[in-house]
Amino acid sequence: MKHFFITALKIIAVGVFLLTGKAYSAQDNFSFDTPEQRAVFLELTAELRCPMCQNQNIADSDAMIAHDMRRKVYSLLKQGKTEAEVIDYMKARYGDFVHYKPPVTIATLWLWAIPVLFVFIAMLFIVKRKSNQPPQDMAAKLAKADEMLEQDKE
Amino acid sequence: MKNARLVVIPLVLFLLLVVFLFKGLFSDPRELDSQVQDKMLPEFSLPDLMQPDVIYTPDSLKGKVTLLNVWGVWCVTCAVEMPYLTQLKNEQGVHIVGLYFDQDLDPDFGTKTLNRVQQEVTSMLSRYGNPYAFNIFDVYRDTSLDLGVTGAPEHFVIDTNGVIRMHHIGDINERVWRNKVGPLYNKLVAEASTAGLKTGTEKSASADNGIDASLNSTRDAVK
């Protein structure tokens, strides 16, 4: 049983490895000057979003536009552009949408603010409730206990 | 009092959620903020699809209100809208220019010849009608990328100064033309024609002056 479990785990691990290998096979057509450049390319294609297949990054997507964007990212990197410059280049053409990291603006601020606000308000609510109720209960309970004591005495 | 609040607050939150989700039902996730709106056409220098010797630049599109249609023979929706575009050209004289790009022509491999592309285009245009004044061939799809094109068909309304006034993603049919693209196009054409009339009269006025001047000079000569 234990052996079976371990083999199953191994198979899953190999499967995951193969899948991720396939997802980033985009790099295969490109040759880079340095391993750092390759790393930047992989990072960029993973965090730039395909405007056509909207829930895929351009490394995963097989749409023509994703092909072209990969090609563009590659040629820009080869020209010596930095990561930020490539992102700006794409944003200038496809908007903030194209980058998976949204910039903080008044419209997107709520993405961060709402969870914090929610926790804060919920905590206030709980604290307020806790501090309100027990005294009432205690008073009632004490009164009841007193009553019982009185009854016992009789 | 406290009970009322307990009922009202969740109810209000729930109603807000309902409004938000209801709006989501009709929102178009494909809608992107176009980055080229109200900007000049990006620089390009591309050949004509049929006559590769002819080179177009953004200046080729100046002086006339243009509907730039991004298309390709591999694009099914393009074939669907083509008869309507042809009708627009024939009935309303809409100036339509194609920005053609090919899907199979992978710049990394270059498997397809220009000849083959031209053949496909000719056969498609003879089947569905030819709405184009001319076709610009975006060989490496760089200009499409600069324009923020995500696929085909897409349309750009460009005014006489070469400024992009509208980026429409998707096909143009009667409804889209009537409600969205047509009004802007016709407005720009009207603006251009009044401006054109002005410069036109100025021109003819100066031409008259020229004639007068030459008459004067002949008179002088006669004297």
**CATH dotted code for B31-222:** 3.40.30.10
pLDDT confidence tier of residue B13, bands split at 50, 70 and 90:
very high
Q: Is the pTM of this model over 0.95?
A: no
pLDDT in tens, B96-125: 999 998 876 555 555 677 888 888 899 999
Domain coordinates in residue numbering, chain B: 31-222
Alpha-carbon distance B117 to nearest alpha carbon in chain A (angstroms)? 17
Q: Which residues of A fall below an 8 Å CB-CB distance to B? A: 29, 51-52, 54, 63-65, 67-69, 71-72, 91-95, 97
Rounded to whole angstroms, the Cα distance separating B15 from B34 reads 32
Nearest to B108 among A29, A51, A54 (CB): A29
Asked whether the beta carbons of residue B35 and residue A68 sit closer than 8 angstroms, the reply is no
- The C-alpha atoms of residue B21 and residue B120 are separated, in whole angstroms, by 45
State the complex-level ipTM.
0.70
* B148 contacts in chain A (CB < 8 Å): 51, 93-95
Report the 10 Å Cβ neighbour count for B130: 18
Query: Using CB atoms and an 8 Å cut-off, which of residues 2-41 of chain B contact chain A?
Result: 29-30, 32-36
Q: Which among B33, B34, B145 has CB closest to A68?
A: B145
Tell me the HSE value of A150 on the side-chain side, using a 13 A CA sphere.
6
**pLDDT tens-digit series, residues B29-79:** 667 677 888 888 999 999 998 888 999 999 998 889 999 999 998 889 999
Q: Choose from B2, B9, B32, B156 for mutation: most chain A CBs within 10 A.
A: B32
